[in-house]
């Protein structure tokens, strides 16, 4: 039986899944690692960890099968990270990750060099600290010796590609997250690269997600146990691949991911962007598709923080039970989920979280529900921005991620969004999307859409209840809080 493999290089682990032609996930291999924060608000990682974890995950996922039965590999992983390599493909310095916040000055520099409006018009995005281009400028400005050694810029999953195939390449969805892409033409922007005074030779060739970019080298074959020449497709950044893995490819399909961060994702059939850059606009991981995406930095992460700090003896099911005993609206208590700053709808690294409206009446149960509701309100703000940017308001959204396991949270999101919330049979997220792209590259299917239609099925629905009216009024109050508190957030961060 032939198989494809999807590999996801995330921030804390690499996962490899083995998938058969029916779309069934037969085996999963995973290997964990950590990242470092050598200074406040810095986030770095040694790329060697990704390769070691990839080898371990592949060997676990393929144990006991004939290596020749693996017909293609799809790659995905954390977006926006900066990997600098020298002329010998050696790592120049630790990778700077997506959640690093050191580059505020470089974001201002980019807006000054390009023009804030022009930047959004070309790339679809404002300059944010998480993106790759500000990181490149930071190294140039602060570590000139390291920058002088650099000959190649890669994204995290593409370092894994290099180790697998010996080829420098990236996909167009991940490339869009660098802030160096022309959003409409789906390739590097000569204008942006020139205005930032960067050498275009640093940047790898770009490919559509299902395109084959190379095959396994003898060295990679020896390390992984797979056959020499096994094709590797371009894949996609984790959010685009995750959307492929839940069937969000054609316009009208909107997804909500409730992981540590929260993501609202809407596929489009044309390049579009939000004029102020408050949501991201990238090419999709399949040809002729783009997407709008908003990222809340602490979604399920907010709930985990609350559990760990306030109720460490509770598991999440017990917290949900407590929250479910409280009426919608948490008796007038609101929660702001800006525990790690924020990206969408407020691109503000200084934003702070907090409870607003606490009284002596409120107990643990109220606070638990307020966290769930506050995250839902923030995600609804992102969807509203996308609708304003031109997508049709959906009648249903597909939900995934760890938080989606909570029936209560699914109900709250259905009520706040005022749409049906759907779950699907695919549970391996971005790795599954990478496997779909590998299946298309192997010609099991002609398009990603055809593969997703065959493999992904809706498994459950949650419809809005009578709480939507109550939430509509509270959401208006919630939206007023960030503008009112922004000066306080700024003062607390100086």
User: 279 and 420: one domain?
Assistant: yes
Answer yes or no: is 444 within a domain.
no
CA–CA distance, 24 with 426 (Å, rounded to integer) = 9
Q: What range defines the domain where residue 22 resides? A: 3-240
pLDDT(137) > 90: yes
- Residue 259 binned pLDDT confidence (cut-offs 50, 70, 90): confident
pLDDT range class, residue 429, cuts 50, 70, 90:
confident
Q: Residue 365: is it exposed, middle or buried by C-beta count within 10 angstroms (0-12/13-18/19+)?
A: middle
With bands split at pLDDT 50, 70 and 90, how would you rate the model's confidence at 321? very high
The answer on pLDDT for 319 being more than 80 is yes
When pLDDT is cut at 50, 70 and 90, the band that residue 309 belongs to is very high
Q: How confident is the model at residue 233 (pLDDT cuts 50, 70, 90)?
A: very high
Same domain, residue pair 272 and 219: no
CA distances (Å), origin 410, targets 4, 335, 399, 405: 32, 18, 8, 8
Q: Which residues make beta-bridge pairs with 187?
A: 182
Sign (positive/negative) of CA torsion 221, 225, 228, 229?
negative
Mutual orientation of helices 468-492 and 364-388 as an angle, nearest 10°?
90
Check whether residue 132 and residue 166 sit in a common domain. Answer: yes
Report d(CA 190, CA 174) in Å as an integer.
Answer: 17
The DSSP secondary-structure symbol of 67 reads: G
pLDDT in tens, 80-121: 999 999 999 999 999 999 989 899 999 999 999 999 999 999
Instruction: Give dist(CA 188, CA 204) in Å, integer.
Output: 9
Q: Report pLDDT digits (tens) over 271-299.
A: 989 899 889 999 999 999 999 999 999 99
pLDDT given at position 41:
82
- Examine residue 260 and state whether it is found in any structural domain, yes or no: yes
- Asked whether residue 450 is domain-assigned, the answer is no
Does the annotation count 171 as an active-site position? Answer: no
The chain-wide mean pLDDT, for the chain, equals 95
pLDDT value at 340 more than 90? no
For residue 16, how far is the Cα from the chain centroid?
17
- Judge if 218 and 314 occupy the same domain: no
H or E segment and range at residue 381: helix 364-388
Q: Are residues 229 and 259 in the same domain?
A: no
Q: Tell how far CA 392 is from the center of its chain.
A: 22
Q: Is residue 155 part of a domain?
A: yes
Residue 156 counted as domain residue:
yes
CB environment 466-482: b (16+ within 10 A), e (fewer)? ebbeebeebbeebeebb
Rounded CA-CA distance 397/385 in Å is: 16
Rg over CA atoms, the chain: 22
Q: Are residues 174 and 275 in the same domain?
A: no
CA separation, residue 393 to residues 142, 269, 280, 365, 378 (Å): 45, 15, 17, 32, 16
Which is more confidently placed, 28 or 390? 28
Cβ count within 10 A of residue 197: 9
**188 has which bridge partners?**
181
| CATH (domain of 139) | 3.30.420.40
Confidence of residue 40 (pLDDT cuts 50, 70, 90): confident
Confidence of residue 347 (pLDDT cuts 50, 70, 90): confident
- Domain termination residue (choose one: 179, 213, 240): 240
- List of residues 6+ apart from 167 with CB closer than 8 A: 161, 213, 214
Residue 279 shares a structural domain with residue 226: no
Domain count, the chain: 2
Tell me whether residue 418 is in a domain.
yes
* High-pLDDT (> 90) share of the chain, %: 89
343: pLDDT strictly greater than 90: no
Do both 254 and 159 map to the same domain? no
Pairing of strands 290-296, 262-268: antiparallel
Residue 147 lies in a domain: yes
Which pairs from 267-272 meet CB under 8 Å and 24+ separation? 267/243, 267/291, 268/292, 268/390, 268/391, 271/124, 271/183, 271/184, 272/124, 272/389, 272/390, 272/391
Query: Of 202, 217, 240, which residue is a domain's last?
Result: 240
Token readout for 419 is: 């749409």
- Catalytic pick among 238, 320, 384, 415: 238
Residue 215 and residue 288: Cα distance in Å, rounded? 25
pLDDT for the residue numbered 390:
87
How does residue 372 score in pLDDT terms, banded at 50, 70 and 90? very high
Residues 62 and 97 both lie in one domain = yes
pLDDT tens-digit profile of 197-210?
A: 999 999 999 999 99
Would you say residue 144 lies in a domain? yes
Mean pLDDT, range 370-390, rounded to an integer: 95
pLDDT at 262: 93
Domain stop point among 203, 225, 240? 240
For the residues 162-179, what does the mean pLDDT come to? Answer: 98
| Whether residues 205 and 251 fall in one domain | no
221 shares its domain with 352: no
């Amino acid at each position: 039986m032939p198989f494809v493999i999807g590999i996801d290089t995330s921030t804390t682990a690499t996962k490899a899944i083995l998938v058969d032609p029916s779309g069934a996930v037969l085996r999963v291999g995973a290997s964990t690692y950590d990242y470092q924060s050598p200074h406040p608000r810095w986030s770095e990682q040694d790329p060697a960890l990704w390769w070691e974890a990839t080898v371990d995950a592949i060997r676990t996922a393929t144990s006991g099968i004939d290596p020749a039965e693996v017909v293609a590999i799809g790659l995905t992983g954390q977006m926006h990270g900066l990997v600098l390599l020298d002329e010998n493909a050696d790592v120049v310095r630790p990778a700077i990750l997506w959640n690093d916040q050191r580059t505020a000055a470089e974001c201002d520099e980019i807006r000054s060099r390009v023009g804030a409006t022009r930047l959004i018009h070309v790339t679809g995005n404002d300059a944010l600290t998480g993106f790759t281009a500000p990181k490149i400028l930071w190294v140039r400005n602060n570590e000139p010796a390291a920058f002088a050694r650099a000959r190649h810029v890669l994204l995290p999953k593409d370092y894994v590609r290099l180790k697998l195939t010996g080829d420098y390449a990236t996909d167009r969805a991940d490339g869009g997250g660098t802030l160096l892409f022309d959003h409409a033409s789906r390739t590097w922007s000569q204008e942006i690269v020139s205005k930032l005074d960067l050498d275009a030779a640093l940047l790898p060739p770009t490919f559509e997600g299902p395109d084959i970019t190379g095959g396994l080298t003898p060295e990679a074959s020896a390390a992984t146990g797979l056959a020499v020449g096994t094709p590797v497709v371009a894949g996609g950044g984790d959010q685009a691949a995750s959307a492929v893995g839940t069937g969000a490819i054609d316009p009208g399909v909107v997804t909500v991911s409730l992981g540590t961060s929260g993501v609202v994702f809407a596929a489009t059939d044309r390049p579009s962007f939000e004029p102020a850059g408050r949501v991201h606009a990238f090419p999709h991981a399949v040809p002729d598709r783009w997407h709008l995406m908003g990222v809340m930095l602490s979604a399920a992460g907010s709930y985990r923080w609350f559990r760990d700090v306030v109720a460490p003896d509770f598991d999440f099911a017990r917290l949900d039970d407590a929250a479910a005993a409280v009426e919608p609206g948490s008796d007038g208590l609101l929660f702001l989920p800006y525990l790690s700053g924020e990206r969408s709808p407020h691109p503000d690294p200084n934003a702070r979280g907090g409870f607003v409206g606490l009284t002596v009446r409120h107990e643990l149960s109220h606070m638990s529900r307020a966290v769930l509701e506050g995250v839902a309100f923030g995600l609804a703000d992102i969807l509203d921005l996308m609708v304003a940017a031109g997508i049709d308001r959906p009648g249903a959204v597909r939900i995934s991620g760890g938080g989606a396991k909570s029936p209560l949270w699914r109900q709250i999101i259905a009520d706040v969004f005022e749409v049906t919330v759907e779950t699907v049979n695919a549970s391996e997220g971005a790795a599954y999307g990478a496997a779909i792209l590998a299946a298309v590259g192997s010609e099991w299917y002609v398009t990603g859409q055809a593969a997703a239609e065959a493999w992904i099925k809706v498994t459950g629905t949650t419809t809005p209840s009578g709480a939507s009216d109550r939430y509509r009024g509270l959401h208006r109050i919630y939206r007023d809080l960030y503008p009112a508190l922004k000066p306080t957030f700024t003062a607390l961060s100086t």
